[in-house]
Homo-oligomer: A and B are copies of this chain.
């Protein structure tokens, strides 16, 4: 292997999941369900990035929103601290020192470490003065196949406090939360007019009590309408529905004085007279409330202080909001009206209190299934960085990149900018790479196929690669994308095989076959079954002439199409596609195979911009990888495929980017390792090569890694995965955010393919068969698996005496009846 970048041990041993110290400032773990928005936990244990208001909003913090602890060891003075580790440099922010609404001047813990087994996050807080083990644990329920219970707008936040001293300790923990409902921004000095009327209530409703926030002046259809709640099941509570609001810093001063005195909160007066000339002008427009829980903890004892944070902002703009990238052909995609549509979750829950009621009433079940999923995922013999690649990118589904509208349709951006979505429309050529949703929530993935084929495909088979019709807008008027359109056919096949849902094919085949037929008439200009026309692609440019990128996807679509047409008894298409596949594949191979890899066949390349010609494209066999993943085998000569994918690794993987020249976006730099999008190992780099060609995309890196594993180059595949994840160390980048054109980029969900390939997992729920054939650690192997009907744990182990492998399957959710596993039925 090239340079032996990593040792075998580094590549193959399980190892521990990463932990992140408080100075790992990029690390931010997203809480929140699918399509609900998020709040994140940083490595200091801080709450950050409040993205709950139906829009991405990286960096958005709520004023005076934090947890704090008061503790009094018997016979000693009390200690009060904010439940975060100390601030890390830099200490300056926008010319105001640190941000004062974060209360940077109050005591905090000396240090912290954050770790996660998705979807759980834990932060240990340490301080030499505090004679307790202090641990934050937080999660939002996440249960594959159970879409509703994975779409809850809230989070459970617990502090586990263990007394390791020899004295009894009185402990109080208070959560403070700002009511900012309807406010445009949360700047202390903001000139924004107050919107509506904020209302902070204390409610005691039997199983739950706590703070309930609304804004009574906002209409129910407004996108700013909503509610928030901070509640607990605990019996020992104190509270302050509203902080003093007489101006200046009176509110935090009064709260902190009160809390420090005995840990218990007095629900005191809010608006005494302001007595300074400027003071009244500095009254806050937001309202802070605090909820406290108190216990005494005996030596050696641990107590849990549990808070439930929920939110409910049911309405979102009835369009791809704020997609203002200034492309002239995109006039219909902007923020053209403020009509709203309901979020799926907005329909299910009445308000935030209702959400917290549901969470509390179902806590046992929700937590158990969530824990089952997490436990299986991490209790595996796969290397830690592989699990990280697979698990951490689930985050995309629960980030603002994705959402669900009232009718249940699942939609996605490509990624998100800091305060708006980035690249609208469930873009077919980017979602092509993503596998995670298809395997965890096939029901949601299928809604995307329905949009693609039955809403966005014309009668002549041309598919818009971004959906606008889903919002009642007109079809997006640009070129069709060959990769996205062909990929949709393969994805339809996959979704059919995962779910065993024959209705899916019956409902969509008519339009799916039109979409596939469209390739023959539109992209194959000379009828030789090799696409060679103007091929718009995921590189945001058009390739011309025969190339294996477009055509491997075309061939995979044909092969999947043959299967689906057979099922539909559509003989005509079976024949058409079979002939095309056979002849096209041979022809393409003869035109583009250069002995080492597949090139673009475009002799008059100087007449075009943005091509790759004789370059070695990392995605050159993406269609072939997709064929492997869905179980339809080779669509190009096996020996050429093997050699080509190895050439991709050989030429495009850089073990140090120091001297790499890339004028595009840079997702890896300096001494980092990465697989670049394209290289020209034999020279002939065009003067103006296609956009992005010197970049690196984690989604491509994962699909190539998966493909290398399928072709037997496991070392190389794992090397790529480890190279990617080494870059996400909490200092350089956020481990839960693989960025491409935007945060939480959809292409990164290609990583789920690693689980499929490494487990040798095959699925055909139409026939009722699944099987495993692990590629690594065969002698002791275990993995998570899922179909559209069930999920659980598969394990196998070699008997050291007999040398025989014994396998076992556990179903933790759903059922597997009538399914053959490794060619056997189980009870």
Chain A residues within CB distance 8 Å of chain B? 25-26, 56, 58, 80, 86-87, 89-92, 94-98, 100, 103-107, 189-191, 246, 248-250, 252-254, 256-257, 260, 274-279, 281-282, 324-329, 415-418, 422, 478-479, 536, 540-542, 608-610, 657-667, 669-670, 687-689, 691, 694-695, 727, 731-734, 737, 739-743
**Judging by beta carbons under 8 Å apart, are B103 and A663 in contact?**
yes
Complex alpha-carbon distance, A325 and B327, angstroms: 35
**Judging by beta carbons under 8 Å apart, are A669 and B104 in contact?**
yes
- Report 9 cross-chain contacts, Cβ distance below 8 Å, ordered by A residue: A96-B739, A97-B665, A105-B661, A105-B665, A106-B661, A107-B660, A248-B540, A256-B661, A278-B327
Contacts of A478 in B (CB 8 A): 277
Contacts of A248 in B (CB 8 A): 540-541, 610, 691
Contacts of A416 in B (CB 8 A): 95
**Judging by beta carbons under 8 Å apart, are A95 and B252 in contact?**
no
**Judging by beta carbons under 8 Å apart, are B732 and A91 in contact?**
yes
Output the least CB separation between A333 and chain B (Å). Answer: 12
Complex alpha-carbon distance, A249 and B692, angstroms: 9
Contacts of A740 in B (CB 8 A): 97
Complex alpha-carbon distance, A260 and B732, angstroms: 29
**Judging by beta carbons under 8 Å apart, are B739 and A97 in contact?**
yes
**Judging by beta carbons under 8 Å apart, are B691 and A739 in contact?**
no
Residue of B with least CB distance to A743? B95
Complex alpha-carbon distance, A275 and B277, angstroms: 64
Given contacts A95-B422, A106-B663, A248-B691, 5 further A-B contacts (CB under 8 A): A91-B733, A96-B417, A104-B666, A257-B687, A281-B329
**Judging by beta carbons under 8 Å apart, are B325 and A189 in contact?**
yes
**Judging by beta carbons under 8 Å apart, are B541 and A734 in contact?**
no
Q: Considering the complex of A and B, which 3 residue pairs feature the smallest CB-CB distances, nearest first?
A: A105-B662, A105-B666, A275-B609
Instruction: Give the interface centre of A25, A277, A328, A415 by most chain B CB atoms within 10 Å.
Output: A277
**Judging by beta carbons under 8 Å apart, are B695 and A105 in contact?**
yes
Contacts of A733 in B (CB 8 A): 90-92
Q: A90-B731, A98-B666, A732-B90 are in contact. Are A105 and B660 (CB under 8 A)?
A: yes
Output the least CB separation between A107 and chain B (Å). Answer: 6
Complex alpha-carbon distance, A417 and B96, angstroms: 7
Instruction: Give the interface centre of A97, A190, A248, A660 by most chain B CB atoms within 10 Å.
Output: A97
Contacts of A260 in B (CB 8 A): 661
Contacts of A670 in B (CB 8 A): 86-87
Q: A106 contacts which of B26, B327, B662, B731 (Cβ < 8 Å)?
A: B662
Contacts of A732 in B (CB 8 A): 89-92
Complex alpha-carbon distance, A418 and B422, angstroms: 26
**Judging by beta carbons under 8 Å apart, are B96 and A669 in contact?**
no
**Judging by beta carbons under 8 Å apart, are B100 and A275 in contact?**
no
Output the least CB separation between A611 and chain B (Å). Answer: 10
Complex alpha-carbon distance, A98 and B739, angstroms: 10
Contacts of A98 in B (CB 8 A): 665-666, 669
Complex alpha-carbon distance, A279 and B610, angstroms: 10
**Judging by beta carbons under 8 Å apart, are A326 and B281 in contact?**
yes
**Judging by beta carbons under 8 Å apart, are B191 and A324 in contact?**
yes
Q: A666-B104, A732-B89, A739-B92 are in contact. Are A281 and B327 (CB under 8 A)?
A: yes
Output the least CB separation between A155 and chain B (Å). Answer: 23
Residue of B with least CB distance to A95? B743
**Judging by beta carbons under 8 Å apart, are B249 and A608 in contact?**
no
**Judging by beta carbons under 8 Å apart, are B279 and A666 in contact?**
no
Q: A89-B731, A733-B90, A733-B92 are in contact. Are A659 and B97 (CB under 8 A)?
A: no
Contacts of A281 in B (CB 8 A): 326-329
Output the least CB separation between A694 and chain B (Å). Answer: 7
Complex alpha-carbon distance, A610 and B249, angstroms: 10
Complex alpha-carbon distance, A282 and B328, angstroms: 10
Contacts of A324 in B (CB 8 A): 189, 191
Contacts of A688 in B (CB 8 A): 246, 250, 253-254
Contacts of A100 in B (CB 8 A): 664-666
Output the least CB separation between A546 and chain B (Å). Answer: 19
Complex alpha-carbon distance, A582 and B106, angstroms: 44
**Judging by beta carbons under 8 Å apart, are B278 and A95 in contact?**
no
Complex alpha-carbon distance, A665 and B188, angstroms: 12
Contacts of A282 in B (CB 8 A): 327
**Judging by beta carbons under 8 Å apart, are A415 and B95 in contact?**
yes
Instruction: Give the interface centre of A86, A95, A253, A737 by most chain B CB atoms within 10 Å.
Output: A95
